Amino acid sequence: MCNCKELPSSVVNISMSYAFRGIELQGVKLFPEYFNGLDSERFEPELSYEFEHYRCKDCGQYWYIFLDSDENPSPWFCVKYRDRGYEPSKGEIDAEKQFLTILAHNGFGSGNCRASKCSNLKLKGKELCHLHLSLP
Ligand SMILES: [Zn+2]
Ligand SMILES: [Zn+2]
């Protein structure tokens, strides 16, 4: 059985995000449904690096799926969409990545990002902003 229905509009399996591994992130504890990944195993087409758009065979949910680089790839970062013809644009996908990055850190700290010429606030507990330290 899949868990598509219980999931929000975008999810990331943060245990695959090596840049964030082993670091306690407040938002991951507070909002776990966003960070435990997608549990379906049956997709149409089958998961492969040729495709980005899938449909869950169990429930029919459409997903944009970014796969990890394993030999048997599994979903790493996923965005729901409602039907064929409504595939999310690159801008929409980037917006979801930024949202999840900010959520994982439970927002911003005070002070600016250390990257040169960046005037964004830094993520809580980090020295960089959501553009310079982004999931997945
Ligand atoms: Zn499903
Ligand atoms: Zn920045």
- Report the separation in Å between the CA atom of 67 and the middle of ligand 2, taken as the mean of its atom positions: 26
The number of residues in the chain equals 136
pLDDT at 97: 97
Ligand closest to the CA atom of residue 60: 1
Short-list 70, 71, 72, 13, CA closest to 38: 13
Cα(131) to centroid of ligand 1, in Å? Answer: 30
Cα 40 to middle of ligand 1, angstroms: 6
Q: Are 73 and 52 in contact (CB under 8 A)?
A: no
| pTM of the model as a whole | 0.94
- List, in sequence order, every residue forming a beta bridge with 53; answer none if it has no partner: 64
Q: Write down the pLDDT at residue 19.
A: 84
d(CA 121, ligand 1 centre) in Å: 36
CA of 129 to the centre of ligand 2 (A): 4
The position carrying tokens 């929000």 is 8
Mean pLDDT by 10 residues, the chain (136 residues): 96 92 88 96 95 97 95 95 98 98 97 97 96 94
What are the C-alpha distances in Å from 12 to residues 55, 67, 111, 122? 17, 10, 27, 21
